[in-house]
Amino acid sequence: MHNNLADQRSDTRSARGLGPWMSLAMVVGAMIGSAIYLLPAVLAPYGPNITFAWLLSISGTMCIALGMARLAANIPGGPTAYVTSAFGDVPAFLTMWSYMVSVWSGITAVALAVAGALSYVFPAIASGVGLFIVAAGSIILLAIFNLISVRTAGRLQVTATMIKLLPLLAVLVLVAAKVASGHPVEHLTPTPIAPQGILAAAALTLFALTGFEVGPITAPVTENAERNVPRAQIIGVAVTGFIYLTATLAVLWLLPSASAATSRAPFAEAIAPWLGPVAGTIVALIAAISALGANNALMLGVAELTRSVAQRGDLPLIFARTRANGVPYVGIVTAAVLSIALLIFNSAPAFVSVYAFVALVSAIATLLLYAMCSAAVLKLRLTGGLLGTIIAVIAALYSLAMFFGAGWEATKWGLLFALSGIPIRWLSRRYNALRSSPESAVS
């Protein structure tokens, strides 16, 4: 079966889709959002367990990425096609529907992170109308860039990714300079190394490594996708994981762990001795750009996913429409409108706790996508040999372990969240059938 699939090729033409660097920037840019800037503070109490936790998370994520890279190299069409080929239309739709809803809410959350980062520089937008205007404005700005062309979104992604790496690389340079000058680095919290501590710390790093699935999702608009997407997957996860591990440790080698654990801006405080009082402003602006880049990847990814699902008849066919240059404009507009609508609801006091819970539950959708794709590699026998089979099994087990890490309550509601797509699919198929019926054509 996989030989036939391998013969299919992407029809994305040169100079219209995402090039190799743009595809890589989509993966890295989606993974590096705003969360990394707070992770040193969150992880500080775990001391030397941090290194082992990151290595565990990076290894598990890399196994999933390798499996998805195998799928991307053999099956054109992105995750929708992967899961459909392995398990059929209904499981594929439920997986993708759940993921789409989670990304729509995720765009809202990241837009709030953009406004939150900028509020460090402009306190007036810390809450209320100012917060809403900046968050909604960032969504509209990204929608405009994405509507122009796929390559415009790709260029924006490359630029944002290069900028967001600056503070992460800066702390590494400062640590090297400190060691070279003969000054000792700060000690990590003297917490004993133990499985419980490693697993607890790893649970905090799991979702920081999500986002790499944007590579396969945007495969239909990527040039030479069968080659560029797998490379972007593997290199992107490896590079991001290495940067996360080393940057987290670098901050804790520059700041006393007790101070880092209570810091609201650990990177800014670590860089302050070098840049002085402006460090906080610079890092805040870069954090806003970082979040903006993550949202750019999410918007293009969910728009392309919406298009692919609609092409299969599981959403109204209007969502499959694209401009002449291949831009899935209906999906982009839909993502922007729904995300801004969530911003409006988020301003209501009663909605805050509900939204926080939905955000937690929607994270399960990413785990569902990883688990289904890992299982698809095994089902379709695309492992490439014994080593590939072992990696695929580890990926599947790791994905299941993440469900346990998220907790039964969130997992239960996440699955119900996915099942809510069943009536959506039924209504969409009925609507599409009526629209394409002879009676409808005559009328």
Q: What is the pLDDT of residue 50?
A: 93
Q: What is the pLDDT of residue 355?
A: 46
Amino acid type, 402:
M
Question: Burial level of 283, CB count in 10 A (0-12/13-18/19+)?
Answer: buried
The structure tokens listed for 101 are 């809803």
Q: What is the pLDDT of residue 62?
A: 93
Q: What is the pLDDT of residue 252?
A: 92
CB 418, CB 302: distance < 8 Å = no
Q: What is the pLDDT of residue 374?
A: 93
Q: What is the DSSP string of 84-142?
A: HHHH-HHHHHHHHHHHHHHHHHHHHHHHHHHHHHHTTT-GGGSSHHHHHHHHHHHHHHH
Q: If DSSP codes are grouped into helix, strand and coil, which group holds residue 18?
A: strand
* The three-state (H, E, C) secondary structure of 337-383, written as one string: HHHHHHHHHHCCCCHHHHHHHHHHHHHHHHHHHHHHHHHHHHHCCCC
The number of beta carbons lying within 10 Å of the beta carbon of residue 121 is 13
The number of beta carbons lying within 10 Å of the beta carbon of residue 119 is 18
CB 114, CB 130: distance < 8 Å = no
Q: What is the pLDDT of residue 360?
A: 57
The structure tokens listed for 118 are 């900028």
Cα separation, 329 vs 144, in Å, equals 10
H or E element that contains 292: helix 279-311
pLDDT along the chain (443 residues), means of 10: 38 63 88 79 91 92 91 87 93 90 84 83 83 92 93 90 87 90 90 88 79 86 86 91 91 89 81 80 87 90 91 92 88 94 69 50 77 93 90 89 71 79 93 74 43
Cα separation, 354 vs 345, in Å, equals 10
The structure tokens listed for 378 are 């095994």
Q: What is the DSSP string of 217-271?
A: HTGGGBTTHHHHHHHHHHHHHHHHHHHHHHHHHHHHHHS-HHHHHT-S-HHHHHH
With vertex at residue 196, the alpha carbon angle to CA 191 and CA 200, rounded to the nearest 5 degrees, is 85
The structure tokens listed for 324 are 């002449």
Q: Cβ contacts of residue 49 below 8 Å, gap of 6+?
A: 191, 193, 194, 197, 198, 200, 201
Look-up: residue for tokens 């990413």?
Answer: 366
End-to-end CA distance of the chain: 43
